[in-house]
Amino acid sequence: MFEKSVAGKRGCDVPLWDGPNGEALGSGYLRDEIPGFPELSEREVVRHFTRLSKLNYANDEGPYPLGSCTMKYNPKVNEKVARLEGFAEAHPLLPPEAAQGCLQVMADLESYLCEITGMDAYTLQPAAGAQGEFTGIKMVRAYHESRGNPRRVVLIPDSAHGTNPASAHLCGYRVEQIASDERGCVHLGFLKERMRDDVAVLMLTNPNTLGVFEPEIGEICRVLHQGGGLVYLDGANLNAFVGVARPGDMGVDVMHTNLHKTFSTPHGGGGPGSGPVGVKETLARFLPVPRVIRHEKGWRLSSDFQESIGKVHSFNGNFGMHARAAAYILANGAQGLREIAESAVLNANYLRKRLEGVYHLPYDSPSLHEVIFSDKHLEKHGVKTLDVAKRLMDYGFHPPTIYFPLIVKGALMIEPTESEGIEDLDAFVDAMLRIAKEAEDDPEVVRSAPHTTPVGRLDEAAAARRPVLRWSPHTEKSRS
Amino acid sequence: MRYIPSSPAERRKLLQVLCLDSVDRLFDTIPEPFRLKRPLDLPPALPEADLVHHLGELSRKNLDPHDSAQFLGAGAYRHFIPAVVDHLISRAEFYSSYTPYQPEFSQGTLQSIFEFQTMICQLTGMDAANASLYDGASALAEGILLAHRAKRRNQVVVAGYVHPEYLKVVRTLVSTLGIELKLAPAGESGACEVDRVASQLTGQSAALVVQMPNFVGRLEEIAPLAEAAHRAGAVCIVVVNEAVSLGMLKAPGSLGADVVLGEAQSFGVPLSFGGPYLGFMAVKMEYVREIPGRLVGQAKDAQGRDGYVLTLATREQHIRREKATSNICTNQGLCMLAATIFMATLGKQGMRELSMQNLSRAEYAKAALKKIPGCRLPYPGPGFNEFVLELPKGATAVHRHLLGKGIVAGLPLEPYFPERKHDLLITVTETNSRGQIDRFVKELREAL
Amino acid sequence: MTESKAAFPGNLRYTKEHEWVKVEGAVGTVGITDYAQSELGDVVFVDLPEKGRALVAGEELGTIESVKAVSEIYAPLSGEVLEINESLRNHPEKVNGDPYGEGWLLRVRITQPSEAEKLLSPEGYRSHVEEGGH
């Protein structure tokens, strides 16, 4: 784009203004031109970004089975409703009487999420799952402080996502890992032994990152509660049991929900997301402010909560995502949401059944919405998980999540979601089986994949040793 | 359900492959007492047409954007968005893809991030920028954590008028980490007094934070403030929450800033009741390994072809876990793309002209409003597209009265500064026509 | 137990955390082992302490980063940092290419010479690695 820039071109004219020009600021404030900034016509901008778009693989194009990311279909009507002018042009600091529509959408979504997860109250402020974790653990800390002692330790299973320990650390806690047992689940004996009055909370992902439901969840919550601790649920995997069971009924005290996973808001090349946090009544007084409150004339935002942890977002969270998620829940209804979990779990188990044996299954506990294989059976051919992932691209599929969870060596974490039909599942299985065969017959073709993408494997080591993080004019210095 | 592609018959077929007689068996591992015995209590499923109708009705409960004149900013700005922005970000290849974990399949996203990083550096005068953060407030919180790590010091001096909502978020984030915020209030002019700020800086100061233009709309003298920060060995952080100002104002990097961060919503992202927006952060090279969030760098493949990859990933939580620079895992992908397309479309000239025009319209409004009897500008010094107007009486009631006439008369400052009962923070952008401004002046004159 | 293909030079002492040290009079040269560099993969950045810093045996003195991992470096011996390998700033790949030579990390003035006796011999370190290395 920068190379194509030619002095004097422009892609947009600023609006006409028939008033006087502002008095010039002193030269102490004014800049010269912005060095290197592009100068392109609208036509060229469109061609450039259209070309870039074609270098991406997308969910709308085919399966995107990234484990733990829930790359489900993004309904188009969601985009339409989020762009309704009344919503899209609503300023976050409008007085409440001018923003009743937005406030109602937020209040409705909060109540839907309460019902879906069995929690008592929600905040929609966190802009992503990780910010939700921070918000949740911060409330845990406020709860313990209100009882005289913040406690020191957050327990996290070794299969957890890396954001869990990072979020706990940001809240001033020391992180201790809980080893998994042979099923890949929380080791109950170890947990009981470790549970003392310095433990603030257990951060649990359920179903865990192996796609396995923690069968002792009830007992786990009892152990924590008996010791005066709380249970945080990383709700990243809610898609596995939405409409089937509710974390609130299991004893969970606080959880986050990823609207960009279970509730279909688009992943957008890495965001924006939205990570609402739900709590039980015992923690509700610590929720971030402002909160959406009902009053006689409708809805308003209130910051009148003395014990609140404060604010985590500049304004009200990612409202555009709230509108999309509310639309998704309304489109599905109770029955539709349950069918989502059923189909997601069915699809994952079908993949498991078809690939088991050819690919190594490190844990044979029953799977819910995702299944984790490893590259153990391919080792003898010198083929690794990374090679399988790269080769899948040649067959037209986005690879699964790889090398996570960390407790599985060479993990391939596959989450098909409910959005794949039987034909796409079969095509994915065929590709995986063919790659396993290739690993035997012609391992080099797998090891050197991908062969059909715009670029091959890039030298990440060289890129990190001498990072080039911005364009600079080496050749076409200036034509102006 | 219309979003699920498999038919009931196909699902039965899959169940047969799994040797299961009912879908309920899939959930056998969920303990029986926890399985929901009733359907969720949610509104009935809506067909698409009814859904659009329902949400359309809700959207119309908000103030009609076409039938009102709005002079509200304070960290979220109404700017014109060229049609190409929404058109291009709606391409499925962008909006329905995820984080570019597999570079061979996501060169489009990676290159657009690289272009965003480049343009943010060009605008701010810095060496490296990340792929965006959640919003301006979290960018500031992350900037303070960066300074805290880099300097191993625990104090932060906040100079003058920094956005009060940002400071609230910062307090939530840093309160358990032992970081102390020291406020150095602005002078009578609304801008910082360098001596007063310098006297707050000590050997314990990790950072000096200053906003440009500041929350009350005044421009700050960055260079002497940066010098004072450097004398104390602190990082100079400049916060920009009206990114359009960078089109005409000197790049903070050229004035001594070490970190420039803030909110880039002004670049092609709709107001959307507060989000999604995009925070940005740009740093001098010496801090690049401390920057949170994602970074894209150039790389080559085995055949020598140029490409882009996520780089310096060892800063991040998926590798360093609790020792990571931040718990952030995503960026604001699609908002960042919108900003990239916006900047490319406006281009070098457009950015400058847009910036100038915001100034012109604000100056026009300022000149007319201050002539209203009893009104005054408490901070008449240099500003950009925002300013404080002091009324002869309580601002909240006047604000409510004008709302009834379809005018959003800025932001009453009383909720933020209880003693400022008469003050409105007024914002004027290129979306406010001369007719709108004239009507605002007329209605305000009549209301007083 | 698997036989390691890594090199274990005989004139060095080793730690269980995979550092080596070469003692010459009062000066010790420190690096990471061949086994460690091969486990880490392509090294992209080495973060080392400032000259003059006093180190206590066993404390974390810096980090070494590869594309996808980061690992702490621990002081094998107590002492004062005399010199760090400045060339690693631009050529961290030397740690992979020549871990016992050009890829050295730092030199220290040893303050507790007796600590060297507690370090592993080449044979001791080899069996540590072959038993899993953790």
For A225-280, what is each residue's pLDDT tens digit? 999 999 999 999 999 999 999 999 999 999 999 999 999 999 999 989 999 999 99
Structural domains of chain B, count = 2
Rounded CA-CA distance A85/B60 in Å is: 9
Residue A479's pLDDT band, with cuts at 50, 70 and 90, is very low
B280 and B182: one domain?
Answer: yes
| B54, part of any domain | no
To the nearest whole number, what is the mean pLDDT of chain C?
90
| B24, part of any domain | no
pLDDT at A128 over 90: yes
A10-19, A202-211, A357-366, B312-321, range with the lowest pLDDT: B312-321
Residue C133's pLDDT band, with cuts at 50, 70 and 90, is low
Chain C residues in contact with B319 by the CB 8 A cut-off are 68-70
Task: Note whether B319 contacts C: Cβ–Cβ < 8 A.
Answer: yes
Task: Note whether B149 contacts C: Cβ–Cβ < 8 A.
Answer: no
| Residue B387 dihedral angles phi and psi, to the nearest 5° | -160, 160
A95-104, B382-391, C1-10, range with the lowest pLDDT: C1-10
Number of helices (H), then strands (E), in chain C: 3, 9
Nearest CA in chain B to A171: B176
Residue A168 one-letter amino acid:
A
pLDDT at C2 over 70: no
B250 and B197: one domain?
Answer: yes
Q: Write down the residue that tokens 């409330």 correspond to.
A: A139
C69–B314: do the CB atoms touch at under 8 Å? yes
Hey, how many other C-beta atoms are within 10 angstroms of the C-beta on A41? 16
A308-337 pLDDT per residue, tens? 999 999 999 999 999 999 999 999 999 999
pLDDT of residue A480: 29
Task: Note whether A461 contacts C: Cβ–Cβ < 8 A.
Answer: yes
**Sign of the torsion formed by the C-alpha atoms of A57, A61, A67 and A70:** positive
Residue in C44, C45, C68 nearest the CB of B319: C68
Task: Note whether C29 contacts A: Cβ–Cβ < 8 A.
Answer: no
Residues 234 through 293 of chain B touching chain A, CB cutoff 8 Å: 247-251, 254, 263, 270-278, 288
CA distance A459 to chain C (A): 10
Chain A residues in contact with B112 by the CB 8 A cut-off are 49, 52, 269
Residues 220 through 249 of chain A touching chain C, CB cutoff 8 Å: none
pLDDT of residue A317: 97
B91–A468: do the CB atoms touch at under 8 Å? no
Task: Note whether A35 contacts B: Cβ–Cβ < 8 A.
Answer: yes
- Touching subunits of B (3+ CB pairs, under 8 Å) are A, C
Burial (CB count within 10 angstroms: exposed 0-12, middle 13-18, buried 19+), residue C82: middle
B428 and B336: one domain?
Answer: no
- Check: CB of residue B6 under 8 Å from CB of residue B14: yes
Domain boundaries, chain C: 14-127
pTM of the predicted model as reported, rounded to 2 decimal places: 0.95
C68–B320: do the CB atoms touch at under 8 Å? no
Nearest CA in chain C to B323: C70
C93–A460: do the CB atoms touch at under 8 Å? no
A417-460 pLDDT per residue, tens? 999 999 999 999 999 999 999 999 999 999 999 999 999 999 99
pLDDT of residue B405: 96
B128 and B95: one domain?
Answer: yes
Residue closest to A293 by CA, chosen among A133, A132, A106, A149: A106
- Check: CB of residue A311 under 8 Å from CB of residue B165: yes
B193 and B145: one domain?
Answer: yes
pLDDT of residue B344: 98
* H helix runs in A264-395, sequence order: 281-284, 319-355, 385-394
For residue C82 the two structure tokens come to 């005399």
B275 and B328: one domain?
Answer: yes
Task: Note whether A460 contacts C: Cβ–Cβ < 8 A.
Answer: yes
For residue C47 the two structure tokens come to 């973060």
| Greater model confidence, C41 or B392 | B392
pLDDT of residue B326: 76
CB burial readout B96-108, b (16+ within 10 A) else e: bbbbbbbbbbbbb
pLDDT of residue A475: 38
B336 and B391: one domain?
Answer: no
- Check: CB of residue B208 under 8 Å from CB of residue B233: no
| B206, part of any domain | yes
pLDDT at A26 over 90: no
To the nearest whole number, what is the mean pLDDT of chain B?
95
Of B321, B342, B363, at which residue does a domain stop? B342
Could you tell me what percent of chain B has a pLDDT over 70? Answer: 99
CA distance B278 to chain A (A): 9
B409-423 pLDDT per residue, tens? 999 999 999 999 999
Domain boundaries, chain A: 76-331, 338-463
B393-412 pLDDT per residue, tens? 999 999 999 999 999 999 99
pLDDT of residue C39: 86
Residue in A53, A271, A313 nearest the CB of B332: A271
Supply the CATH number for residue B388's domain. Answer: 3.90.1150.10
pLDDT at B323 over 80: no
B138-159 pLDDT per residue, tens? 999 999 999 999 999 999 999 9
B197-233 pLDDT per residue, tens? 999 999 999 999 999 999 999 999 999 999 999 999 9
Could you tell me what percent of chain C has a pLDDT over 70? Answer: 96
B122–A86: do the CB atoms touch at under 8 Å? no
| B52, part of any domain | no
CATH 3.40.50.2300 fits C14-127, yes or no: no
**Sign of the torsion formed by the C-alpha atoms of A444, A449, A455 and A460:** negative
CA distance B335 to chain C (A): 28
Supply the CATH number for residue B94's domain. Answer: 3.40.640.10
A76-331: CATH, from 3.20.20.140, 3.40.640.10, 3.40.50.1220, 3.30.70.1250 = 3.40.640.10
Task: Note whether C87 contacts A: Cβ–Cβ < 8 A.
Answer: no
Chain B residues in contact with C67 by the CB 8 A cut-off are 313-314
pLDDT at A476 over 70: no
C45–B320: do the CB atoms touch at under 8 Å? no
Rounded CA-CA distance A372/B106 in Å is: 24
pLDDT of residue C68: 75
Rounded CA-CA distance A309/A307 in Å is: 6
Q: Which CATH class is domain A338-463?
A: alpha beta
pLDDT at B320 over 90: no
pLDDT of residue A478: 34
CA distance A148 to chain B (A): 15
A464–C93: do the CB atoms touch at under 8 Å? no
Give A66's strand partners: A414
pLDDT of residue A426: 97
Residue A115: alpha-carbon gap to chain centroid: 21
Task: Note whether A32 contacts C: Cβ–Cβ < 8 A.
Answer: no
Give C24's strand partners: C27
A158-184 pLDDT per residue, tens? 888 889 999 999 999 999 999 999 998
B320 and B354: one domain?
Answer: no
Hey, how many other C-beta atoms are within 10 angstroms of the C-beta on A114? 17
pLDDT at B291 over 90: yes
pLDDT at B427 over 50: yes
Chain B residues in contact with A221 by the CB 8 A cut-off are none
CA distance B312 to chain A (A): 6
CA distance C114 to chain B (A): 33
pLDDT of residue A21: 87
Which residues constitute the domain of residue B441? 66-80+347-447
B429 and B282: one domain?
Answer: no
B101 and B116: one domain?
Answer: yes
| Greater model confidence, B289 or B111 | B111
Residue in C41, C44, C68 nearest the CB of A465: C44
B190 and B203: one domain?
Answer: yes
Helix (H) or strand (E) holding A414: strand A411-414
B177 and B292: one domain?
Answer: yes
Rg (CA), chain C: 14
Q: Write down the residue that tokens 């002019």 correspond to.
A: B189
Task: Note whether C98 contacts A: Cβ–Cβ < 8 A.
Answer: no
